[in-house]
Structure 1
Amino acid sequence: MVAELVILGGRLAESAASGDPVDVLIESGRIAAVLPAGEAPMARRTLDAADAWIMPGFVDIQVHFRTPGATDSEDIASGAAGAAMGGVTACVMMPNTSPPIDSPDMVAEVLALAAEAPCDVRTSAAITAGRAGRQLTDMAALYAAGVRVFTDDGDCVADDALMEAALALTTRLPGAVISQHAEDPAMVAGGAVNAGAVARRLGLRGRPAEAEVSMVRRDLALARRTGGRYHVLHLSTAAAAESIQLAKRDGVAATAEVTPQHLVLSEDDVERLGTSGKMNPPLRRTSDVAALRRALIDGTLDAVATDHAPHHPSLKDRSLAEAPPGMIGVETMAAVVWSQLVATGAMTPARFVEVVSTAPARIAGLAAHGRPVVAGSPANIAVFDPTVRWTVDATALQSRSTNSPWHGETLTGRPRHTVLAGRPVMVDHELCA
């Protein structure tokens, strides 16, 4: 027997206790067998996983690939290339494009553009028509077109009745979820950074933590009332995390994600980073950073997602008040989380897999991703080198934009290979042709 592809000599994160190396055989896009290292048959192609972890491919459920409407900042090809370099085998685009993704035709258009991408690119769709917050989209038709995540990300659905109706619809659309950019628009209007000492020092209007907390609590009450599925995008405050924890204890169908930047950076970093440190919701206090780390580790928060938000350098070359919010991150997500939490001993490799792969795939209904590395699973795999140290050069990343808060930072851990549906798409830190 000659195997199609074999990944040689890596360890499985799910079997961290034993740490025995294995060989993973891949045939026809699926894992055919997992054998003790050295027992694999001959193969047409092999990938070296010595001293590395073999993991389910990572899943990023909040990316902005700027298609359609702003492809000078990013397009699906460049965004998906960055994803593959970062070990990400699936991602979900946000619909705040121009025009917004709010119809089945728009969904079909962007998915057709993604068909040959080195990552399984899916798209969410808007909750409200045109993301205008006045009437719901035809969620049933969008669901039939393949959409499972509905969000007006970039804007918050502030109208109580609309949000309640959207949540109620998820009870009739199995696997659908309402994902909210939870900031009360009236409270954050004109705000550039977190409302606090840094905003006062810079003479900028702030975006208060209460804008997030109050909206999360309202939405959780509506989710409780309707029985609908609710997900908080890029949660940023300790108080909102506590509200999620309490709601889960009460049986509310709620989940929440946190970005790498909200796990590491605070409002104190904004002056150092300039406009690359501006995002919505903003970087918060150091106490929020510590609380979010605890909440991710203990399971209160479910997943990591990047809110990968590229902007052409000319757009970021403005004042903090005028520049658009957002940071790139799909290519560096896994390395940042590993460096900050796993390499320091705060998080286990198994929990790492849960928050960057298994949980996000489950939240977004990506059944072929986030699966354990066992015989029969789809072969969507990241081989992750846990000890390699590398320095981020934003100009050398795949994105068309360079607004990375990690530029110049030295990270520990990096994907070595990425396999999508049984096909290597990145090998030894190089994209495959």
Structure 2
Amino acid sequence: MSDTVDLVINGGTIVSPDSRYSASIAIKDGLIHAIGAPEAMPPARQTLDASGLYILPGAIDVHVHFRDPGYPQKEDFASGTAAAAFGGVTTVFDMPNTLPTIDTPEALADKHTIASSKAYVDYGLYAVLGEDSIEHVPGLIEGGIIGFKLYMGNTFGRIPSPTTGAMLEAFEVVAPTGKRISLHAETNSIMERRESRLRASGRTEAIAHLDARPAVVAVEAVARAAILAEWTGARIHVLHISSAAELRPLAEAKARGVDITGETCPHYLLLSEHDYETFGGVIRVNPPVREATNRQPLWDALMDGTVDVIATDHAPHAPEEKTRPDIWTVDCGFPGVETQMPLMLTEVNRGRATLEDYVRWSAENPAKIWGLYPRKGTLTVGSDADIAIVDINREWTIDDAKIQSRSKISPWQGRKATALPIHTLVRGRFVMKDRVLQEDARGSGRSVHAIQQMPPATPRNTDTTMAAITSRSER
């Protein structure tokens, strides 16, 4: 090899979903050029000594809320993607409940302009799938999206939940496109009714939020969405799985051949109802942190493949928005994109899973599910050089005041961790090096929709779709 490459990383241990091994990595023009013995590497303009560190594919967080446009005081694309870089996350999928809501091609174009000028890491943009945006599906896809987000239950932004009839029509329209529909799977009518009764009875303490949203709201929503996906052939993804009870309709749908995937988040794996006493409204999130009995089944579901992905639902708010005494006035969510990898690798160190498992959940599976593999989600020759270089023996304590997010309040405050990303590269470029943000990388992030290649669509029951029945001539 006589060609000079841009960077060679020496001395680290590379981790894949199947193995770990010591090797050097050569990077050229943003791609992985070679992997092998140090002496086999071509000459390089720059080298990095990663001795004692682990080299992971950069995490792909398929569920973040960067609040831009509309709420930049909570977060914007610069601060959010900086937090991602510090967390070893090299690609994020940003949700559409901004202001304006991303439900038209025009709003999407404006958001692309914002993201491309600020992003430190690569990104995909979601568009809302609802009653009013069904007509915009072709234009939204043309405008460049990673997928659609459908809100079966209310959350921040109060995007209206479509009726089941509108959901069916929306699935019918999206199914032939092959795009995946990510679901906030909570049944809105149950939650609204319970919350109104709790408010009327004077319940304002933090745990009342959990009482308003028992696991059945998710169980019913997952089962209903799976039936619609099975009927239409739409691809769906269940966001933020919080309860053991959801796992049955998810597993049953997979067994029936439904193209359904699911994610869970660190707060559902590591926190419980007991943390409401410590953190109060800070812990309020949709779906809620649930009873401790749900945690081990969620870990088990990750291990057996029922749940496919680790994501964060990174949802930043200001401290005053999280500490109001009346839980119903507290904004839902908290930051997580920067702390997910340290938290999960701390559990790896405790024996809950292996590094190989973590790479599968955080990188390979998301890339495969959203049609980005093998360009993303793997460290193989020809792939994008999206890399997290991690010290898995670094003891430190999470301090909300020091995280990159503008939201300086979370239920992770004071929690001890034993792993930390040291360097993060996106397409071969350092975006975080030696725990320092590389300011010149701002605006270097790209939308991944251009490289997305979903498998061929398999729509079903196309003769009974709304479009089919309304276009038939009178008989």
Q: CA deviation at 1:201?
A: 8.0
| Alpha-carbon distance in 1 for matches of 2:370, 2:207 | 40
Distance change (3 Å), C-alpha of 1:380 and 1:172: same
Q: Map Cα deviations across residues 86-122 of structure 1 (whole Å, 9 max, x no partner).
A: 1111101111111101111222211222224211122
Q: Pairwise mapping of residues 78-97 of structure 1 onto structure 2 (< 5 A)?
A: 78-97=79-98
Equivalent position amino acid for 1:142 in 2: L
Structure 1 residue aligned with 2:173: 169
TM-score normalized by the length of structure 2: 0.84
Distance change (3 Å), C-alpha of 1:134 and 1:376: closer
1:300 aligned to 294, 303, 306, which one?
306
Q: Map Cα deviations across residues 24-77 of structure 1 (whole Å, 9 max, x no partner).
A: 000001011001245434422222221222121111111111011111010010
Structure 1 residue aligned with 2:8: 6
Structure 2 residue aligned with 1:72: 73
Q: Aligned with 1:113: secondary structure?
A: helix
Q: Map Cα deviations across residues 404-426 of structure 1 (whole Å, 9 max, x no partner).
A: 21111111111111111111111
Structure 2 residue aligned with 1:59: 60
| Pairing 1:151–2:158 present | no
| Alpha-carbon distance in 2 for matches of 1:184, 1:381 | 38
Structure 2 residue aligned with 1:324: 331
**8 Å contact 1:111–1:121 — kept in the other structure?**
no
Which runs of 5 or more structure 2 residues have no equivalent in the other structure?
A: 440-475
Distance change (3 Å), C-alpha of 1:96 and 1:42: same
1:334 aligned to 329, 341, 345, which one?
341
1:350 aligned to 356, 364, 377, which one?
356
Structure 2 residue aligned with 1:212: 218
| Pairing 1:376–2:382 present | yes
Q: Aligned with 1:354: secondary structure?
A: helix
Structure 2 residue aligned with 1:411: 417
Alpha carbon RMSD of aligned pairs, Å? 2.1
2:245 aligned to 225, 239, 246, which one?
239
Worse-superposed segment, 183-192 or 287-296? 183-192
Equivalent position amino acid for 2:357 in 1: R
Q: Aligned with 2:97: secondary structure?
A: coil
Structure 1 residue aligned with 2:137: 139
Distance change (3 Å), C-alpha of 1:191 and 1:93: farther
Worse-superposed segment, 294-303 or 34-43? 34-43
Distance change (3 Å), C-alpha of 1:170 and 1:40: same
Structure 1 residue aligned with 2:102: 101
| Alpha-carbon distance in 2 for matches of 1:203, 1:3 | 56
Structure 1 residue aligned with 2:470: none
| Alpha-carbon distance in 1 for matches of 2:102, 2:127 | 5
Worse-superposed segment, 103-112 or 59-68? 103-112
| Alpha-carbon distance in 2 for matches of 1:200, 1:70 | 26
Bigger radius of gyration = 2
2:185 aligned to 152, 177, 182, which one?
182
Instruction: Show structure 1 runs of 4+ deviating over 6 A.
Output: 199-203
Equivalent position amino acid for 1:5 in 2: L
Aligned residue pairs: how many? 421
Equivalent position amino acid for 1:303 in 2: V
Q: CA deviation at 1:151?
A: 0.9
Structure 2 residue aligned with 1:284: 290
Q: CA deviation at 1:358?
A: 1.4
**8 Å contact 1:22–1:36 — kept in the other structure?**
yes
Equivalent position amino acid for 2:169 in 1: A
| Alpha-carbon distance in 1 for matches of 2:413, 2:353 | 24
| Alpha-carbon distance in 1 for matches of 2:87, 2:71 | 23
Distance change (3 Å), C-alpha of 1:156 and 1:280: farther
**8 Å contact 1:259–1:304 — kept in the other structure?**
yes
| Alpha-carbon distance in 2 for matches of 1:61, 1:292 | 18
| Alpha-carbon distance in 2 for matches of 1:190, 1:369 | 46
Q: Aligned with 2:391: secondary structure?
A: strand
| Alpha-carbon distance in 2 for matches of 1:260, 1:156 | 27
**8 Å contact 1:303–1:360 — kept in the other structure?**
yes
Percent of matched pairs sharing the same residue:
37
Equivalent position amino acid for 1:318 in 2: R
**8 Å contact 2:148–2:182 — kept in the other structure?**
yes
